[in-house]
Structure 1
Amino acid sequence: MRLDGVSQTNGFSTPNGSASSQSRKPLSHSLNGQPVFASNGDSQTNGSVKSPNSLPSYFGHNREEVTRLLIQSLYDLGYSGAAELLSKESGYQLESEAVAMFRSAVLDGRWSDAELILVPSFLTESGHENPPRNKLVLAENANKNEMLFYLRQQKFLELLEARDLGDALMVLRTELTPLNYDIGRLHALSRLVAYAFFFVFMIADLVVFSCVLRNIYTNKRDGMGLSALLERGYYQNYPVGFFYPATWMDTHVTEFISPSVMIPDHRLAILLDQIKRNQINQCLYHNTASCPSLYSDHMCDRADFPLRPGVELSQHADEVWYCEFSHDGTKLATASRDHCVIIYDTSTFSVLHKLREHEEGVAHASWSPDDTKLITCSQDRGARVWSVETGRCLLTISHHRQPVTAAAWAADGESFVTASLDLSSQLCHWSLRGQVIHMWPGGFRVQDCAITSDGRRLVAADVQGKIHVYNLSTHEEEYCIPLKSKPTSVAVSRDSRYMLVNLSEGQIQLIDIDTTDVVRRFQGQKQGSFVIRSTFGGAAENFVVSGSEDSRVYVWHKENGMLVETLEGHLSGCVNAISWNPTNAGMFASAGDDRSVRIWTRERDAPRTPAAEKQRAVSSNGFTRTSALRSTSSF
Structure 2
Amino acid sequence: MGGVEDDEPASKRMKLSSEELRRLSNGSTIKEPVAGSSRDLMARPLQSEGGEEVVGSKGVIKKVEFVRIIAKALYSLGYIKSGAHLEEESGIPLHSSVVNVFMRQILEGNWDDSVVTLHNIGLTDERTVKSASFLILEQKFFELLDEEKVMDALNTLRTEIAPLGVNDSRVRELSSYIVSPSYCSPTRSPKQGTVRARSRSKLLEELQKLLPATVMIPEGRLEHLVEQALVLQRDACMFHNSLDKEMSLYSDHQCGRDQIPSQALQVRLCSANQIFFCHEVFSTILPVYTSLESLFKRLLGSENESGKNNLKLSKKIAYHLYEIQCDFLARMLVSLFEAGECPLISSFIGSHRFDPRIIKISLQVKVMAIQSILQAHTDEVWFLQFSHNGKYLASSSNDQSAIIWEVYETGVSLKHKLSGHQKPLSSVSWSPDDRQLLTCGAEEVVRRWDVSSGECLHVYEKTGLGMVSCGWSPDGKWIFSGLNDKSICMWELDGKELECWKGQRTLKISDLEITRDGKQIISICRETAILLLDREAKVERFIEEDQPITSFSLSRDSRFLLINLLNQEIHLWNIEGDPKLVSKYRGHKRTRFIIRSCFGGLEQAFIASGSEDSLNIAYKFLRWVYIWHRGTGELIETLPGHSGAVNCVSWNPANPHMLASASDDRTIRIWGLNNLSTKRKEPCSNGIHYCNGGY
Q: Please tell me the TM-score bracket, short chain as reference.
A: 0.5 to 0.7
C-alpha distance in structure 2 between counterparts of 1:100 and 1:391, whole Å: 70
C-alpha distance in structure 2 between counterparts of 1:82 and 1:340, whole Å: 70
Alpha carbons of structure 1 residues 581 and 29: separation in structure 2 relative to 1, 3 Å:
same
Q: Which residue of structure 2 lines up, in the alignment, with residue 396 of structure 1?
A: 459
SS of 2:399's equivalent in the other structure is coil
Q: Which residue of structure 2 lines up, in the alignment, with residue 553 of structure 1?
A: 625
8 Å Cα contact 2:611-2:624 kept in structure 1: yes
Number of residues paired by the alignment?
Answer: 508
Kindly indicate whether residue 127 of structure 2 is the aligned counterpart of residue 145 of structure 1: yes
8 Å Cα contact 1:342-1:352 kept in structure 2: yes
Q: Which residue of structure 2 lines up, in the alignment, with residue 332 of structure 1?
A: 393
1:342 is displaced (CA, Å) by 0.8
Kindly indicate whether residue 102 of structure 2 is the aligned counterpart of residue 31 of structure 1: no
Q: Which moved more, 1:269-278 or 1:110-119?
A: 110-119
Q: Which residue of structure 2 lines up, in the alignment, with residue 614 of structure 1?
A: none
1:421 is displaced (CA, Å) by 4.9
Partner amino acid, structure 1, of 2:249: L
Q: How does 1:517-536 map to 2 (within 5 A)?
A: 520-526=582-588, 532-536=595-599
Alpha carbons of structure 1 residues 31 and 160: separation in structure 2 relative to 1, 3 Å:
closer
Q: Which residue of structure 2 lines up, in the alignment, with residue 576 of structure 1?
A: 647
Q: Which residue of structure 2 lines up, in the alignment, with residue 3 of structure 1?
A: none
Partner amino acid, structure 2, of 1:47: A
Kindly indicate whether residue 48 of structure 2 is the aligned counterpart of residue 48 of structure 1: no
1:449 is displaced (CA, Å) by 1.3
Alpha carbons of structure 1 residues 378 and 78: separation in structure 2 relative to 1, 3 Å:
farther
C-alpha distance in structure 1 between counterparts of 2:204 and 2:395, whole Å: 53
Counterpart pick for 1:306 among 257, 261, 265? 261
C-alpha distance in structure 1 between counterparts of 2:176 and 2:459, whole Å: 49
Q: Write the deviation string for residues 30-77 of structure 1: whole angstroms up to 9, x where unpaired.
A: 424x643xxxxxxx7533368899932443343333322222222333
Larger-Rg structure:
2
8 Å Cα contact 1:461-1:487 kept in structure 2: no
Alpha carbons of structure 1 residues 528 and 518: separation in structure 2 relative to 1, 3 Å:
farther
Q: Which residue of structure 2 lines up, in the alignment, with residue 267 of structure 1?
A: 221
8 Å Cα contact 1:160-1:196 kept in structure 2: no
Alpha carbons of structure 1 residues 315 and 194: separation in structure 2 relative to 1, 3 Å:
farther
Kindly indicate whether residue 252 of structure 2 is the aligned counterpart of residue 297 of structure 1: yes
1:524 is displaced (CA, Å) by 1.1
Kindly indicate whether residue 661 of structure 2 is the aligned counterpart of residue 590 of structure 1: yes
C-alpha distance in structure 2 between counterparts of 1:253 and 1:478, whole Å: 47
Alpha carbons of structure 1 residues 166 and 599: separation in structure 2 relative to 1, 3 Å:
farther
8 Å Cα contact 2:405-2:415 kept in structure 1: yes
Q: Write the deviation string for residues 581-604 of structure 1: whole angstroms up to 9, x where unpaired.
A: 244433210123444322212333
Alpha carbons of structure 1 residues 107 and 501: separation in structure 2 relative to 1, 3 Å:
farther
1:392 is displaced (CA, Å) by 0.2
C-alpha distance in structure 1 between counterparts of 2:670 and 2:66, whole Å: 49
C-alpha distance in structure 1 between counterparts of 2:592 and 2:201, whole Å: 58
8 Å Cα contact 2:609-2:625 kept in structure 1: yes
Q: Which residue of structure 2 lines up, in the alignment, with residue 448 of structure 1?
A: 512
8 Å Cα contact 2:68-2:92 kept in structure 1: yes
Q: Which residue of structure 1 lines up, in the alignment, with residue 71 of structure 2?
A: 71
SS of 1:313's equivalent in the other structure is coil
Q: Write the deviation string for residues 474-532 of structure 1: whole angstroms up to 9, x where unpaired.
A: x7459876434258323233xx384343253623326385x778594241155698654
Q: How does 1:486-501 map to 2 (within 5 A)?
A: 488-493=551-556, 496=557, 498-501=559-562
C-alpha distance in structure 1 between counterparts of 2:555 and 2:139, whole Å: 39
C-alpha distance in structure 1 between counterparts of 2:399 and 2:259, whole Å: 35
SS of 1:501's equivalent in the other structure is strand
C-alpha distance in structure 1 between counterparts of 2:104 and 2:41, whole Å: 28
Q: Which residue of structure 2 lines up, in the alignment, with residue 633 of structure 1?
A: none
Q: Write the deviation string for residues 122-150 of structure 1: whole angstroms up to 9, x where unpaired.
A: xxxxxxxxxxxx334x6xxxx42255246
SS of 1:298's equivalent in the other structure is strand
8 Å Cα contact 2:624-2:638 kept in structure 1: yes
C-alpha distance in structure 2 between counterparts of 1:195 and 1:528, whole Å: 72
Q: Write the deviation string for residues 550-601 of structure 1: whole angstroms up to 9, x where unpaired.
A: 453222223444321233333343x333222244433210123444322212
SS of 2:415's equivalent in the other structure is strand
8 Å Cα contact 2:27-2:75 kept in structure 1: no
Q: Which residue of structure 1 lines up, in the alignment, with residue 563 of structure 2?
A: 502
Q: Which residue of structure 2 lines up, in the alignment, with residue 418 of structure 1?
A: 480
Counterpart pick for 1:320 among 364, 377, 381? 381
Partner amino acid, structure 2, of 1:601: G
8 Å Cα contact 2:115-2:136 kept in structure 1: no
Q: Which residue of structure 2 lines up, in the alignment, with residue 116 of structure 1?
A: 116
C-alpha distance in structure 2 between counterparts of 1:355 and 1:523, whole Å: 35
Q: Which residue of structure 2 lines up, in the alignment, with residue 384 of structure 1?
A: 447
Counterpart pick for 1:341 among 402, 406, 419? 402
1:391 is displaced (CA, Å) by 0.6
C-alpha distance in structure 2 between counterparts of 1:26 and 1:317, whole Å: 77
Q: Which residue of structure 2 lines up, in the alignment, with residue 236 of structure 1?
A: none
Q: Which residue of structure 2 lines up, in the alignment, with residue 286 of structure 1?
A: 240
Kindly indicate whether residue 417 of structure 2 is the aligned counterpart of residue 354 of structure 1: yes
8 Å Cα contact 1:366-1:409 kept in structure 2: no
C-alpha distance in structure 1 between counterparts of 2:117 and 2:539, whole Å: 45
Q: Write the deviation string for residues 95-122 of structure 1: whole angstroms up to 9, x where unpaired.
A: 33344445555667765445434445xx
Partner amino acid, structure 1, of 2:490: C
8 Å Cα contact 1:334-1:343 kept in structure 2: yes
Q: Which residue of structure 2 lines up, in the alignment, with residue 408 of structure 1?
A: 472
Q: Write the deviation string for residues 419-444 of structure 1: whole angstroms up to 9, x where unpaired.
A: 425788636374x55567x7486566
1:343 is displaced (CA, Å) by 1.3
Partner amino acid, structure 2, of 1:597: I
C-alpha distance in structure 1 between counterparts of 2:530 and 2:109, whole Å: 52
Alpha carbons of structure 1 residues 303 and 270: separation in structure 2 relative to 1, 3 Å:
same
8 Å Cα contact 2:596-2:610 kept in structure 1: yes
Partner amino acid, structure 1, of 2:256: D
8 Å Cα contact 2:550-2:595 kept in structure 1: no
1:386 is displaced (CA, Å) by 1.2
Partner amino acid, structure 2, of 1:152: F
C-alpha distance in structure 1 between counterparts of 2:106 and 2:591, whole Å: 61
Alpha carbons of structure 1 residues 601 and 262: separation in structure 2 relative to 1, 3 Å:
same
1:535 is displaced (CA, Å) by 2.8
Q: Which moved more, 1:50-59 or 1:389-398?
A: 50-59
Alpha carbons of structure 1 residues 89 and 154: separation in structure 2 relative to 1, 3 Å:
closer
Give me the CA root mean square deviation.
Answer: 4.7
C-alpha distance in structure 1 between counterparts of 2:233 and 2:430, whole Å: 34
C-alpha distance in structure 1 between counterparts of 2:428 and 2:456, whole Å: 14
Partner amino acid, structure 2, of 1:302: R
C-alpha distance in structure 2 between counterparts of 1:370 and 1:466, whole Å: 28
8 Å Cα contact 1:366-1:376 kept in structure 2: yes
Q: How does 1:180-199 map to 2 (within 5 A)?
A: 186=168, 188-189=169-170, 192=173
Counterpart pick for 1:483 among 530, 540, 543? 543
Q: Which residue of structure 1 lines up, in the alignment, with residue 4 of structure 2?
A: none
SS of 1:483's equivalent in the other structure is strand
1:416 is displaced (CA, Å) by 4.5
SS of 1:463's equivalent in the other structure is strand
1:194 is displaced (CA, Å) by 9.0
Alpha carbons of structure 1 residues 148 and 384: separation in structure 2 relative to 1, 3 Å:
farther
Alpha carbons of structure 1 residues 73 and 457: separation in structure 2 relative to 1, 3 Å:
farther
Kindly indicate whether residue 549 of structure 2 is the aligned counterpart of residue 562 of structure 1: no
Give the TM-score of the pair, scaled to structure 2: 0.60
C-alpha distance in structure 2 between counterparts of 1:167 and 1:546, whole Å: 71
Identity %: 29
SS of 2:571's equivalent in the other structure is strand
8 Å Cα contact 1:362-1:376 kept in structure 2: yes
